[in-house]
Amino acid sequence: MKQFKTEKYTDFTKAVNRKKMEKAITHVESKFGKEYSIIIGGERIRLDKKFHSYNPSQKGEVIGTFQKADEPTAERAMQVALKTFEAWRYTPAKTRAGYLFKMANIMRRRRFELNAWMVLEEGKNWLEADADTAEAIDFCDYYALEALRYDKGPKLYKYPGEINKQVYIPLGAGIVIPPWNFPLAILTGMTTAAFVSGNTVILKPSSDSPGIAAIFMEIVEEAKVPVGVVNFLTGPGAIAGDYLVRHPKTRFVAFTGSKPVGLRIVEQAGKTQPGQIWIKRVVAEMGGKDLIIVDSEADIDSAVAGVRTSAFGFQGQKCSACSRLILDDKIYDQFMKKFIPTVEAITVGPTKDNSNYMGPVINESAYNSILEYIKIGKSEGTCVSGGEPAPGDGWFIRPTVITDIASKHRIFQEEIFGPVLGVTRARDFEHAIQLANDSEYGLTGAVYTKNKKKIEKAKREVFVGNLYINRKCTGALVGIQPFGGFNMSGTDSKAGGPDYLMLFTQAKAIAEYIGSRKTSKKTPRRAAKRKRRK
């Protein structure tokens, strides 16, 4: 069997790779303004109501035009998904896995194009975009191999006179609602996990990233995944999305996004509808208020680099991004003296220019919300860096650091989803852990210390789904660091891990009575002897 290996990142210090990326950006820009269809059962559908995807680095520049799905279109997608499921559910795991291997290879071939879409539609810098594509490839390969493993079933103990096995069967037709911030990786992971397990999918991407989702559908079709297995539905979640979440035939909902939307989905999916004969499965990843503790016995230079990347990579628009920095009072001044110059050195601008480390935030609504939080932060603490928009025609905000933040402050407690870092002093390591756990979220966290006893204490007591020791709190790798969090961070789904496909399947135990082999072999002989005596 093929061995899983994570995809290497592209080295953009090499001129040949820079030229390929520049060419890909020009190619994608040439496609700006194109209209994209809804795809249901392989059929292209155009509707009267439409919406646009915009370039966040250039206000008003249209990336593409997309269809606003309504309830009748959503119902049509559901009926196709249900019909397709009747045959797809019995497709051998090896065949289903084969489609994912094909998709991974297509993504490798189209890698720079995929990167360019994320640079232009989401404002990712080149490295962040390439990492997103690499993760999407990893999801395809990993879940294909996992499907083959699940197909073998678990090892059960033997029982005399029976053959016992447990098989994993698919759930049915489900809804996949991915986010805009990992518009290829998470979309790919959720969708492929669902359909490689034998389910059919209605894919409803974010309205901020429908362009890269449309390219994903091109890859699905290029890999010749049977029509109707993945159906592509664009538009506002409040129309088509809510309708499908409530639908009595929806078997599962896989969602990644904000806490309010996630809780709404959990609530709606939890209400049994007329004709519904199952409990809907909800897989939800809902964000975080992630922390990094820097202890008095930490490697300060390593911690400075890790905090900078964790807080300001992709403009802080990651559910795993560090937004709470907890510093031991003994090293506070030393750390900040080294840290602030690295923040002020961050370049902000359109990410088609590879010299810019930070790009725009995703849209005007996010821009206004982040600036409002910065205003709140200034009233609660002291802004020591950034705290204002950056120049340019996009939604640019300078990386912002606010000190003197207490645990009761909103900047400490509420998810901002932008380049804003709150800094809090801790009296000692014990106090730092108390501060770390003072949150309704529990997604990621990192602890920097050289003290082995403190490391063990952190492993036991820091309450997050993904804990990192002496490294950044972002960048979980498929198959290596299964990803998902506690409390209001979601259902701890552990995407990219060995338990994930279980969320899209149901286990069926089968016991077949075969009797005693010893008895069955002697019975014909005994019958013959009785016949001769007669």
Distances (CA, A) of 469 to 430, 449, 529: 16, 8, 76
Instruction: Identify whether 384 is part of a domain.
Output: yes
The DSSP annotation for 414-429 comes to S---SSEEEEEEESSH
Q: Are residues 296 and 227 in the same domain?
A: no
The crossing angle, in degrees rounded to 10, of helices 210-222 and 93-109 is 120
Q: Are residues 305 and 216 in the same domain?
A: no
Instruction: Identify whether 81 is part of a domain.
Output: yes
Specify which residues 89 forms β-bridges with.
none
In the chain, helix, strand, coil percent, each to 5?
45, 20, 35
Q: What is the pLDDT of residue 518?
A: 54
Q: What is the pLDDT of residue 322?
A: 98
Q: Are residues 244 and 315 in the same domain?
A: no
Instruction: Identify whether 433 is part of a domain.
Output: yes
Q: Are residues 197 and 72 in the same domain?
A: yes
Instruction: Identify whether 9 is part of a domain.
Output: no
**What's the angle, vertex CA 114, arms to CA 113 and CA 119, rounded to 5?**
95
Q: Are residues 64 and 108 in the same domain?
A: yes
Burial 221-255 (b: 16+ CB within 10 A, else e): eebebbbbbbbbbbbebebbbbbbbebebbbbbbb
Domain that holds residue 369: 290-479
The total domain count for the chain is 2
- Name which of 347, 288, 354 is nearest 15 in CA terms: 354
Q: What is the pLDDT of residue 523?
A: 47
- Name which of 202, 141, 150, 198 is nearest 177 in CA terms: 202
Q: Are residues 159 and 241 in the same domain?
A: yes
Distances (CA, A) of 339 to 298, 300, 428, 435: 14, 9, 20, 21
- Name which of 172, 156, 178 is nearest 88 in CA terms: 172
Q: Are residues 44 and 158 in the same domain?
A: yes
Which positions are annotated as active-site residues?
285, 319
Instruction: Identify whether 19 is part of a domain.
Output: no
Instruction: Identify whether 391 is part of a domain.
Output: yes
Q: Are residues 390 and 314 in the same domain?
A: yes
Q: What are phi and psi of 327, to 5 degrees?
A: -110, 130
Q: Are residues 268 and 185 in the same domain?
A: yes
Domain harbouring 201, CATH code: 3.40.605.10
Q: Are residues 216 and 149 in the same domain?
A: yes
How far, in Å, CA of 494 to CA of 282, rounded?
Answer: 14
Contact by Cβ (8 Å): 324, 441: no
Specify which residues 385 forms β-bridges with.
401
User: What string of pLDDT tens digits covers the 534 residues of the chain?
Assistant: 689 999 999 999 999 999 999 999 999 999 999 999 999 999 999 999 999 999 999 999 999 999 999 999 999 999 999 999 999 999 999 999 999 999 999 999 999 999 999 999 999 999 999 999 999 999 999 999 999 999 999 999 999 999 999 999 999 999 999 999 999 999 999 999 999 999 999 999 999 999 999 999 999 999 999 999 999 999 988 877 799 999 999 999 999 999 999 999 999 999 999 999 999 999 999 999 999 999 999 999 999 999 999 999 999 999 999 999 999 999 999 999 999 999 999 999 999 999 999 999 999 999 999 999 999 999 999 999 999 999 999 999 999 999 999 999 999 999 999 999 999 999 999 999 999 999 999 999 999 999 999 999 999 999 999 999 999 999 999 999 999 999 999 999 999 999 999 999 999 999 999 997 654 444 445 544 555 554
Residues 6+ apart with CB under 8 A from 260: none
What SS3 class is residue 97? helix
Contact by Cβ (8 Å): 245, 233: no
Q: What is the pLDDT of residue 525?
A: 52
Domain harbouring 345, CATH code: 3.40.309.10
Q: Are residues 317 and 268 in the same domain?
A: no
How far, in Å, CA of 472 to CA of 281, rounded?
Answer: 32
Per DSSP bridges, beta strands 162-170 and 466-469 are unpaired
- Name which of 122, 134, 180 is nearest 496 in CA terms: 134
Instruction: Identify whether 179 is part of a domain.
Output: yes
Q: What is the pLDDT of residue 520?
A: 44
Instruction: Identify whether 517 is part of a domain.
Output: no
Q: Are residues 356 and 232 in the same domain?
A: no
